[in-house]
Structure 1
């Protein structure tokens, strides 16, 4: 929509402002917040969104909802073609009050793309109807638990960030506990309490998040599996299917 206002900071103006764009280089956004809520997704490519609750890898079949004033940052993995819908604070009152990832629908994507073509000016009933569809889809689409929740304890956060940096690190729980200067019992107990996953399951999830990035970069499935420490490609494919509901090859086609 060709409005002469910055959708990141405008509290007035239309209830919904949609921007669609693309670039051939990696898109990066430093941590920031804005008064409007934001629903963002990709038409092609892969996004990583960082929020206080964790790290979310967002394929083209999903979108992330960020309530007003919620700090976040992100980047794309390679070339990016995506969209953002900025929702006025008043229209966010009955939308989720916490960040979440939703599985997009064909209806939502079509409504967003239609809204991106609206010229500046008064809204009519037709544009109001399309905006209502976007808001209703945010309210009703299923939430997808594809994020990587982060712990709050500084010692656990240090370990988590090291694993995210290198998911193939094979150190066991005892070795990580020693590196983080806490007992293995404390590490195990607090990881479950603060992330909802035991340490082994969380590390496996970190590897799966990295596999999405590698698939977006056209890395062959066999190499993804071996580089991330799986014993065989079939073991990786089986775990990927159980987690995401489809094979890595089918997932890559969505990208």
Structure 2
């Protein structure tokens, strides 16, 4: 996924890519710094052993030379900003989550106009750089277990995160005791089964919330008995409630 050719004198270039459900751009890297953002839908970025799930209220700064892959859980409009390193004062050396304010959102659209006057472009680029502010949110990680029996459980839960079966009940299906499955989840994913299932549910909730579904509807869809239980789990895992995370 190469950045588009820059307009004359530009230090920031905007690329736009429509993405279908489950579509991924394979692992690659750029000579430019990149700000990966979805104007519509939810963007996922894999880099440095971490996966970020980003609604339109957030973007990810990817330093030049960082191998990464980008994808979408559902239909999305991916807009990416590319910054010339020798003209960019931002010094973040690792991927960094950035809040996308209404002003930054409009500036990205403004800079996507390739016919923009050079002086106007330079002013807008300066404001974009001023708007790049890190936000403190945790990523929602749910690595897949390697044990083949635990992996079958994990795959079934990714397909239907609302499934509330216990590990003992799963064990009768995959041919292992609940205790064996519990050990496999801790060994392979670094977290107990209950925590892993919570994260899978939150990952499944992200594109639904970004699409405008209510918290109550999403909570029921991904297996929570009440909206309040879902909001509490979301806050514990991410650091902010859904309303803040998905604020426009």
TM-score for both structures, normalised by structure 1: 0.68
Determine the C-alpha separation between the residues in 1 that align with 2:164 and 2:137: 28
Could you tell me which residue of structure 2 aligns to residue 226 of structure 1?
A: 220
Report the secondary structure of 1:148's partner residue.
Answer: coil
Q: Alpha-carbon deviation of 1:16?
A: 1.4
The answer to whether the Cα contact below 8 Å between 2:33 and 2:83 also exists between their aligned partners in 1 is yes
Distance in 2 (CA, whole Å) between partners of 1:164 and 1:46 is: 17
Give the alignment's Cα RMSD to 1 decimal.
4.2
When residues 230 and 171 of structure 1 are mapped into structure 2, their CA distance, relative to the original with a 3 A threshold, is same
Q: Which residue of 1 aligns with 2:137?
A: 144
- Give the match for residue 3 of structure 1: none
Counterpart Cα distance in 2 of 1:38 and 1:141: 14
- Please point out which of 30, 33, 51 is paired with 2:25: 30
Equivalence for 1:215: 209
**Do the aligned residues in 1 keep the contact of 2:4 with 2:15 (CA within 8 Å)?**
no
Match of 2:186 among 181, 185, 188: 188
Whole-Å separation in 2 of the counterparts to 1:42 and 1:110: 13
Work out whether residues 104 and 141 of structure 1, in 8 Å CA contact, stay in contact via their aligned partners in 2.
no
Give secondary structure in 1 for the equivalent of 2:200.
helix
Q: Do structure 1's residue 84 and structure 2's residue 80 form an aligned pair?
A: yes
TM-score normalised by length of structure 2:
0.69
Summarize the Cα distance change of 1:160–1:186 in structure 2 as closer, same or farther, 3 Å threshold.
Answer: closer
Structure 1 residues 9 and 31: CA distance shift in structure 2, 3 A: farther
Q: 1:205 is matched with which residue?
A: 199
Deviations 1:116-167 (A, max 9, x none): 124389x44x4334323323433x332422342647x855995796354443
Change (3 A) 1:215 1:99: same
- In the alignment of these two chains, the number of paired residues is 237
Name the SS of the counterpart of 1:56 in structure 2: strand
User: How far, CA to CA, are the matches of 1:184 and 1:198 in structure 2?
Assistant: 7
Distance (whole Å) between structure 1 residues aligned to residue 90 and residue 211 of structure 2? 38
Residues 82-105 of structure 1: per-residue CA shift (max 9 Å, x gap): 421012243468432222322212
Q: Which runs of 5+ in 2 are unaligned?
A: none
* CA distance in 2: counterparts of 1:145 and 1:13, whole angstroms: 37
2:15 to 19, 22, 38: 19
